[in-house]
Amino acid sequence: MANSIRYVKTIPQNIRHLSTSSARNDAWLSKIFVRKIEPTKESHSRMLSDKEVIYALQTHNYRPDSKRPYLNNVKNIVGWVKTQDQLKDTVDLVGSWTVNVGDQDQALHLWKFTGGFHQIDVFNELTDVNEDYEKLRVEQGKLVRARHLQYLLAFSYWPQILLREPKNIYEIRSYALKPGTMIEWGNNWARAINFRKNNDEAFAGFFSQIGRLYNVHHIWCYENLNTRKETRESAWRSPGWDECVAYTVPLIREMHCRVMVPTEFSPTQ
């Protein structure tokens, strides 16, 4: 990615003839640099992700009086997947959470498909004809109010996903970006992520391929809410973090966060 993208620094006309010998002037000029991304023939997925792995993020709004039977239904679906030889070592549940702060009566499930969209096709063909799975799907339909599915790619600069234990809380920060800004987002966050590694808080970072487009999801892991507060405050004390935030905020159309707790059958706790 670094070889394909470069920053272009643009200085207003009336400033171009100023001397740059002074360190103070240089520091001031750096504040007005505008970052631009040159056109490229490479797709976003090739430039930002380097793995033939697709992640599926399911978002379910379950009925307020149906949380327990709903979670039992999902647990049975996870168990069914594990019994299918065609899906062995290619389809895995990474994390399963219910929302504690944010959208209430909501659950998120993150699946990993090793083998890309081909393996998703295999999964869909199998579930379309399997009677046991169809029964579970019909049962789930009676327990939820709404469902949404996104296919995602992991950012190549994000740390490798590592399952956590014992039980933690997770924060998913979801961003709807302005169309055409995904490369610039990745370019800035490739630097920004270095400021967020001190407490091993970075769990996963994705951008959407199918579903709601120009969506980014960052998932962070914390011991508790107070640890979250202290960790985020420490990032602001790191020189350079404020600059990364300043460059990425203008790229956002909408954002929201949810604090989640793992289900008892979630592989990551």
Domains 53-153 and 154-262 are alike in CATH topology = yes
In the predicted model, is pLDDT for residue 67 greater than 50? yes
| Long-range pairs, 239-246, Cβ under 8 A, ≥24 | 240/191, 240/195, 241/192, 241/195, 244/188, 244/189, 244/191, 244/192, 244/195, 245/192
Quote the pTM value: 0.81
Question: What are the φ and ψ backbone dihedral angles of 45, each rounded to 5 degrees?
Answer: -65, -35
The string of pLDDT tens digits covering residues 213-244 is 999 999 999 999 999 999 898 888 888 888 88
Instruction: Return the ∠ at Cα 70 (arms to 68 and 75), rounded to 5°.
Output: 95
- What is the distance between the alpha carbons of residues 144 and 135, in angstroms, rounded to a whole number? 15
Confidence of residue 47 (pLDDT cuts 50, 70, 90): low
In the predicted model, is pLDDT for residue 30 greater than 70? no
In the predicted model, is pLDDT for residue 37 greater than 50? no
The string of pLDDT tens digits covering residues 95-141 is 999 999 999 999 999 999 999 999 999 999 999 999 999 999 999 99
Written as one letter, the residue type at 22 is: S
In the predicted model, is pLDDT for residue 7 greater than 60? no
CATH class of 154-262: alpha beta
CATH code that applies to domain 53-153:
3.30.70.100
Overall residue count recorded for the chain in this entry? 269
Ordered by start, the domain boundaries in the chain are: 1-39, 53-153, 154-262
- What is the distance between the alpha carbons of residues 184 and 174, in angstroms, rounded to a whole number? 17
Give how far Cα 46 sits from Cα of 151, 196, 199, 206, 209, Å. Answer: 15, 24, 30, 13, 12
- For 56-93, the DSSP string reads EEEEEEE-TT-HHHHHHHHHHHHHHHHT-GGGTTTEEE
Helix (H) or strand (E) holding 47: helix 44-48
The string of pLDDT tens digits covering residues 159-208 is 999 999 998 999 999 999 999 999 999 999 999 998 887 778 999 999 99
pLDDT at position 234, please? 86
